[in-house]
Amino acid sequence: MSTILVTGATDGLGRAVAGELASRGHDVLVHGRDRDRVEAVAGEIGAAGTHVADFAELAQVRAMAAALDGIDVLVNNAGLISRERVVTGDGLELTFQVNYLAPFLLTTALLERHAPRRVVNVASAGQMRPDFDDLMLEHGYDEWRAYRQSKLAQIMFAFECALRRPDVESTALHPATFMDTKMVRATIGEPHSTVAEGAEATVRLASDLELDVQGRYFNGLEEARPDESAYDADARKRLWDVSEQLIA
């Protein structure tokens, strides 16, 4: 059995994934930004541990990474959609920070200390090439543009990480389309799929360590091809370099 950290595990997909992994006997670490909710979920599923950190504050992400002492699998699941442009205390656009930069920081910090065997990035089929001239979306903010940009950034990161650290199995997936979560109901309205469908796909990548996932992207249970920007080596390197600058 593996020690698996699931970020954003107090609700929706993350809660379902954490619960299923724990039911299979894995040592699950529950992450969330609200201590009461984190402890409640951990108690309900019999988690092995908890971590509280608000991804809208990079200092909390650094502290969380420093507190982690060896995990087998990291599931970068935490995410949001912000209807309005919000600037965090770090001076960064909220969606890009929470959905992409915070997981980038958490993952790269772990790679420097006790690298996990596998990193699963919960991305989306909704993808848009990052605008390097306006990553913080200061001009013409749109909630779906912000979300899609952050999700493609996750996939680009997964692919680049697979090349830079071949010892770490790095992958990304679109778990399911418009699952029945609070986030979907608040933005889309009617869900198109169940949380159970998305959880099945995500748990598979997190738990089946015989499955070859290195540098691959999955749509549900099937391997798929993301936006072409994910295959642009120059764009991936630029994103990595910019990301290091933004979290410095």
Residue 198: CA atoms inside 13 Å, Cβ hemisphere, count? 28
> Looking at 100, 147, 217, 231, which residue is catalytic?
147
Q: Which sign, positive or negative, has the C-alpha torsion 160, 19, 49, 100?
A: positive
For position 82, what pLDDT does the model report?
96
For position 216, what pLDDT does the model report?
98
Rounded CA gap, 33 and 248, in Å? 22
Question: For the chain, what is the HEC assignment?
Answer: CCEEEECCCCCHHHHHHHHHHHHCCCEEEEEECCHHHHHHHHHHHCCCEEEECCCCCHHHHHHHHHHCCCCCEEEECCCCCCCCCCECCCCCEHHHHHHHHHHHHHHHHHHHCCCCCEEEEECCCCCCCCCCCCCCCCCCCCHHHHHHHHHHHHHHHHHHHHHHCCCCEEEEEECCCCECCHHHHHHCCCCCECHHHHHHHHHHHHHCCCCCCCCEEEECCEEECCCHHHHCHHHHHHHHHHHHHHHC
* Residue 228: strand pairing partners: none
For position 44, what pLDDT does the model report?
98
pTM of the shown model:
0.94
For position 192, what pLDDT does the model report?
60
Average pLDDT across each block of 10 residues of the chain; the chain has 248 residues. List them in order. Answer: 97 97 98 98 98 98 96 98 97 98 98 96 97 96 97 98 98 84 60 85 98 98 98 98 97
* Residue 29: strand pairing partners: 5, 49
For position 188, what pLDDT does the model report?
60
Rounded CA gap, 177 and 160, in Å? 25
Over the stretch 94-146, which tens digit does the pLDDT of each residue have? 999 999 999 999 999 999 998 999 999 999 999 999 999 999 999 999 999 99
147 is catalytic: yes
